[in-house]
């Protein structure tokens, strides 16, 4: 017997409360923007400026002990991560310590660096600093601009691709869903004051890719069913398409979440923000694929005079669990 997350044939009405679900999405986006403006983001060192210190020691790096030793210095946002390299000798252990800019200073002062070194020597007497680099506010501002451009470029490329492959209504729906995912994710980061850094930008780009993948799968089945059921109302064809791909959607999202939750619980502080963003994005992206993208397509409507033959290539396994 095969394990099935949903029955072989479902007839759930996903658009019964389409006005309510779409309204919730709009409210969530507006609330996220307001929180973003009022509360602001908890920018990490990448966007706020600071100093990066590369350490080397003969003993293994214990991130928790390093963090406990530096905490009494009151330096604010401190990020510590171990560096792995196959070329390192057995007694060659390296860590990267990033400390946010202190006050109006572009970098951490030499006195503060000496205090950090003294604190870490209490944990490991063999530790030494091999490299100290600073990132000023100007560079941080450029990173913010580059991050915004990266997200906007990804959205524009997806808009163009969906427009070419499907119809413009599909393209508008897909990009609206992606905007929803990105804005709501930024809103939750602002609300919970989770550190927002370059890793979070990478997570946002990952969310965009994951969300559009799920949306395109349903769109592809919708296009196929529009050719097959030419007299069925659009809302009926949409419900049919979502039901037919439901098993695939739940299996993909479920297995992805299993891995992400394990990383969220056991991965440690270094990657927690990145993993949380992707975890939240998978949940919101799955929701928006149906209740944002499809609602907009339903509202805009699509032409029904399909003259091309039905092409099911690549879709025959969309409703199979495994």
Secondary structure, 3-state, 118-169: HHHHCCCCCCEEEEEEEECHHHHHHHHHHHHHHHHHHHHHHHHHHHHHCCHH
Predicted confidence (pLDDT) at residue 317 exceeds the cutoff of 60: no
Tell me the two tokens of residue 30.
């507006």
- Residue tagged 């963003």 (tokens): 277
The structural domains of the chain, ordered by start, are 18-41+139-300 (1.20.1640.10), 50-135 (3.30.70.3220)
Predicted confidence (pLDDT) at residue 300 exceeds the cutoff of 60: yes
Mean pLDDT of 189-193: 88
Tell me the two tokens of residue 109.
């002062």
Query: What single string gives the DSSP state of each residue in 9-22?
Result: S----TTTTHHHHH
> What DSSP element (H or E) covers 312?
none
Contacts with 196 (C-beta within 8 Å, 6 or more apart), sequence order: 41, 42, 43, 44, 47, 186, 189, 273
Q: What does the alpha-carbon distance between residue 249 and residue 254 come to, in Å, rounded to a whole number? A: 8
Predicted confidence (pLDDT) at residue 33 exceeds the cutoff of 90: yes
Contacts with 218 (C-beta within 8 Å, 6 or more apart), sequence order: 241, 242, 245, 249, 289, 290, 293, 294
The reported pTM is 0.71
Percent residues over pLDDT 90 in the chain:
5
- Residue 305's pLDDT band, with cuts at 50, 70 and 90, is low
Predicted confidence (pLDDT) at residue 86 exceeds the cutoff of 80: no
- Residue 37's pLDDT band, with cuts at 50, 70 and 90, is very high
Predicted confidence (pLDDT) at residue 203 exceeds the cutoff of 70: yes
Residue 109's pLDDT is what?
74
Tell me the two tokens of residue 172.
């508008």
Q: What does the alpha-carbon distance between residue 82 and residue 251 come to, in Å, rounded to a whole number? A: 34
Tell me the two tokens of residue 64.
């928790």
């Amino acid at each position: 017997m095969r394990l099935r997350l949903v029955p072989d044939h479902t007839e759930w009405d996903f658009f019964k409360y389409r006005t309510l679900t779409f309204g919730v999405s709009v409210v969530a986006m507006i609330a996220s923007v307001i929180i973003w403006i009022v509360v602001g983001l908890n920018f990490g060192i990448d966007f706020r400026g600071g100093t990066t210190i590369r350490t080397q020691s003969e003993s293994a790096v214990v991130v928790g002990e390093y963090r406990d030793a530096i905490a009494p210095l009151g330096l604010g946002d401190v990020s510590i991560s171990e560096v792995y390299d196959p070329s390192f000798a057995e007694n060659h252990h390296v860590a990267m310590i990033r400390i946010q800019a202190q006050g109006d200073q572009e970098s951490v002062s030499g006195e503060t660096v000496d205090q950090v070194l003294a604190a870490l020597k209490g944990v490991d007497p063999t530790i030494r600093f091999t490299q100290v680099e600073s990132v000023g506010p100007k560079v941080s501002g450029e990173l913010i601009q580059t991050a915004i451009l990266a997200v906007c470029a990804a959205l524009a490329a997806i808009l163009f691709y969906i427009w070419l492959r499907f119809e413009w209504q599909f393209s508008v729906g897909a990009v609206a869903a992606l905007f929803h995912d990105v804005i709501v994710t930024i809103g939750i980061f602002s609300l919970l004051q989770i550190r927002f850094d370059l890793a979070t930008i990478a997570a946002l780009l990952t969310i965009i890719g994951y969300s559009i993948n799920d949306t395109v799968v349903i769109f592809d089945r919708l296009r196929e069913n529009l050719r097959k059921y030419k007299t069925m109302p659009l809302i009926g064809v949409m419900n049919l398409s979502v039901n037919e791909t439901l098993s695939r959607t739940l299996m993909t999202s479920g297995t992805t979440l299993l891995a992400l939750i394990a990383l969220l619980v056991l991965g440690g502080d270094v990657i927690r923000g990145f993993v949380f963003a992707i975890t939240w994005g998978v949940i919101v992206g799955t929701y928006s694929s149906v209740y944002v993208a499809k609602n907009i397509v339903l509202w805009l409507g699509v032409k029904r005079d399909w003259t091309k033959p039905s092409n099911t290539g690549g879709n025959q396994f969309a409703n199979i669990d495994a």
